[in-house]
Amino acid sequence: MKKLALHWKILIGMLFGVVFAVLMVQFDWGKDFIKDWISPFGKMFINALKLIAVPLILASLIKGVSDLKDISKLSRMGGKTIAIYVVTTVIAVSVGLMVVNVVQPGKSISEETRNELLESYKNDAAQKKEAAIKQKDAGPLQALQDLIPDNIVSASSDNKNMLQIIVFAIFFGIGLILIPEDQAKPVKSFFDGFNEVILKLIDLIMLAAPVGVFALLASLVAESPSLDLFQALLWYAFSVVLGLALLLIIYVLIVKIFTKKSPGFFFRGISPAQLLAFSTSSSAATLPVTMERVEEHLGVDEDVASFVLPIGATINMDGTSLYQAVAAVFIAQAFGMDLSLGAQLGIIVTATLASIGSAAVPGAGMVMLVIVLGQAGIPEAGLALIFAIDRPLDMCRTTINVTGDAAVSMVVANSFGMLKEPHEKKWDDNYSK
C-alpha cells in the first residue's frame, strides 16, 4: 500500500481535530479536557518550530553566503542577482500587504470571538504593549543600532532578535569567503553538515505536524467555537492565493519586458519544475529539474543558471514572503490589532530579510513567520489560527518561489548577453540517433 503523503496526513489531522472538538464541547467537561490534555501538544509543536528558528537561520545563511566562494562575483553577476532577488521579494511582500488590507480576512471574525482570543492571550499582548512603549521612547536610529548585536550568544537566546542573527550570519559568511580556501574549508564543511542536520530536524518536526495540527485545531474550536473563525480562514486562504496569482502575473511581465519572451514560452519551459515544486513543497528538491528546464528549455547559459538558481533556492522566497505578510496582518486583524503604516513597512523589511534565511524545505516558511510576528509585535500564539491550512498554501507558494528563480535567471542572463536559443530538440536528436 502506498504511504500517505504528509500533506494528506496534515489535512486529516485538521479534520479530526475539528470533529473531535465539536463532539467534545457537547459535554460540560469537554473544553477542560481539551485544554488540559490536548492543547499542550499543540503548544509543544509551536515551541519545536521556534526552537529550530535560530539554528536554521545560522546554518542556511552561512552556507548560502559562503557558497558564493569568490567575493568579486558580488560586484557584477552576484550583485545584480541579489539586487533583483531583493526587489522581487519586496514586491511580493508589498503585494501581500495590499491584498490582505483590501480583503481584510481577519475582520470577518466577530467581536465576541475576537474578545475570547484576546482574553486567552492577554498576557502576551501586555508584553507587546510594554515593548512598544520602550520602542517609542527610543531614538530615530535605534532600529539600525539594534541590527548589530553586542553578544551573539545573548542575541541567539531570544527569537525576537532574529534580525541580529541574520546580520551576524551574513557577516560570518562573508568572512569565510575572504579567508584562504584551505583555512575556510573545515569551517565551511562544519556549517554544510550543520545545515544538513537542521534540515533533517525540520523533517522530524514535520512528522509531528498531523498531531500538532490536531491539537491546535481542537483547541481553537473548543476556545472559539463560532463558525466565523473558519469562514475567516477561507478568506485568508483566498487572500494568499490571490496574492500569489498576482505575483505570477508580475513575473510574466518581467520576463516579457526584459527578455522579450512570451508567457507561453516561459510557462512551457518551466511548467515541469512548477509541478514538481507543487508536489514536493521544496525548492531544494526541485532545483535539479529547475536548472535543467532553465538551461535546455528557456535558453539560460549554464554558467548563469548554476550561479543564480542555487542562490535563489536559498534566499529568494517570494511566495513565502508574500504568505508571511498576509498571515501576519490576518493574525493581527483576528486579534483586533490595527497595524500602523510603520508596522507594515517593518513587515516588508523583516519578511524580506527572513526569506533569506528560509530553508528550501517544507515547513520552513512557518518557522520564519515566527520572526515576522515577533518583530511586528503580533502574538505568536496566532500561529494556531493558520497552521491547519498551511500545507496546501505551502505547495502553492513553493511553486511561486521556483517560478521567481527561473524568471530572475532569464533576466540576469539577458543582461549579460547569455540568453540563447533553447535546446528543446536535444532529446529528440539523441533519440533519433
DSSP per-residue string spanning 381-418: GGHHHHGGGHHHHHHHHHHHHHHHHHHHHHHHHHHTT-
pLDDT at position 427 over 50 = no
Q: What's the confidence (pLDDT) of residue 163?
A: 65
What pTM did the predictor assign?
Answer: 0.64
Q: What's the confidence (pLDDT) of residue 249?
A: 95
Distance between CA atoms of 364 and 371, rounded to whole angstroms? 12
Q: Radius of gyration (Cα) for the chain, nearest Å?
A: 22
Q: What's the confidence (pLDDT) of residue 394?
A: 80
pLDDT at position 2 over 50 = yes
Distance of CA 217 to the CA centre of its chain: 22
Q: What's the confidence (pLDDT) of residue 128?
A: 44
* Best CA proximity match to 98, nearest among 316, 331, 341, 271: 341
Which range, 36-50, 138-152, 238-252, 324-338, has the best average confidence (pLDDT)?
238-252
Q: 246 pLDDT band (50/70/90 cuts)? A: very high
Q: What's the confidence (pLDDT) of residue 271?
A: 86
Residue 218 cell numbers, joined: 481542537
Give pLDDT tens digits for 85-121. 889 888 998 998 899 889 888 777 776 666 665 555 5
Give pLDDT tens digits for 18-33. 899 889 988 989 989 9
Q: What's the confidence (pLDDT) of residue 228?
A: 63
Q: What's the confidence (pLDDT) of residue 71?
A: 66
Q: What's the confidence (pLDDT) of residue 125?
A: 46
pLDDT > 90 fraction of the chain, expressed in percent and rounded: 14
Q: 225 pLDDT band (50/70/90 cuts)? A: very low
Residue 144 cell numbers, joined: 539600525
Q: 133 pLDDT band (50/70/90 cuts)? A: low
Distance between CA atoms of 368 and 375, rounded to whole angstroms? 11
More confident residue, 51 or 430: 51
Give pLDDT tens digits for 39-83. 899 888 777 877 876 787 787 678 767 776 666 655 677 778 888
Among 67-76, 208-217, 280-289, 409-418, whose mean pLDDT is lowest?
Answer: 67-76
Whether residue 173 contacts residue 61, with contact meaning beta carbons closer than 8 Å, is answered with yes
Q: Residue 65: count other Cβ atoms within 10 Å of its Cβ.
A: 24
Q: What's the confidence (pLDDT) of residue 51?
A: 80
Task: Give the domains, in start order, of the chain with CATH numbers.
Answer: 6-432 (1.10.3860)
Write the Ramachandran bin of 246: left for phi over 0, alpha for psi from -120 to 50, otherwise beta: alpha
Beta bridge partners of 419: 300
Q: Residue 277: count other Cβ atoms within 10 Å of its Cβ.
A: 29
- Mean of all residue pLDDT scores within the chain: 77
More confident residue, 164 or 424: 164
CA torsion through residues 397, 399, 401, 404, sign? negative
pLDDT at position 139 over 80 = no
More confident residue, 15 or 379: 15
Distance between CA atoms of 385 and 372, rounded to whole angstroms? 15
The number of residues making up the chain comes to 433
* Best CA proximity match to 242, nearest among 316, 313, 325: 325
Among 175-184, 201-210, 325-334, whose mean pLDDT is lowest?
Answer: 201-210
Q: What's the confidence (pLDDT) of residue 388?
A: 57
* Best CA proximity match to 286, nearest among 272, 299, 267, 297: 272
Whether residue 52 contacts residue 367, with contact meaning beta carbons closer than 8 Å, is answered with yes
Give pLDDT tens digits for 378-420. 766 666 667 656 767 887 888 899 999 999 999 998 988 878 8
pLDDT at position 283 over 50 = yes
Average pLDDT over residues 163-169: 78
Whether residue 202 contacts residue 359, with contact meaning beta carbons closer than 8 Å, is answered with yes
Give pLDDT tens digits for 306-337. 778 877 776 778 888 898 888 888 888 877 77
Type of residue found at 307: F
What are phi and psi for residue 233, nearest 5 degrees? -65, -40
Among 147-156, 167-176, 284-293, 402-411, whose mean pLDDT is lowest?
Answer: 284-293
Q: What's the confidence (pLDDT) of residue 70?
A: 64
Residues 6+ apart with CB under 8 A from 172: 62, 65
CA torsion through residues 96, 307, 286, 196, sign? negative
